[in-house]
Structure 1
Amino acid sequence: MEGFFTFGEITIFPEHIHILANAFEAAIEQQTDEYQTLSRDFIKALGAIYREPDMYMMIRER
């Protein structure tokens, strides 16, 4: 996620899924309810990429 904070965007490919899902899952307990929901939704999106490896995710700052 460092690329997002540095450049305002990040591309997530299938090879990034496990490390990101594990990191977000580990952080959930320390988050507010709102951020827990966002993290769980993000983990679900990562699962979709895992199941369809031709997909990737691009995250950009507004």
Structure 2
Amino acid sequence: MFHDSVLTAALTERLTHRAHINNMVGGSYRILETKEWIEQSNLLRLTFQRYTVKSLFYLSLL
């Protein structure tokens, strides 16, 4: 992001001078929610495809 390493080090030092760093252990809620969202999307897609195929089959019988 910054092309000058001295400027980057100075900015980082200024930002973190009085900061408290918390080391967090455990799973990420963002990753968990994303996995659940992907699974739901796949289930919805499969359900939609199944009903679409059934609808086309029943329409072909008419």
TM-score by length of 2: 0.34
Structure with bigger RCO (C-alpha 8 Å, 6+ apart): 1
Report the TM-score when normalising by structure 1. 0.34
The higher radius of gyration belongs to: 2
Between Structure 1 and Structure 2, which shows a larger proportion of strand residues? Answer: 1
User: Greater helix share, 1 or 2?
Assistant: 2
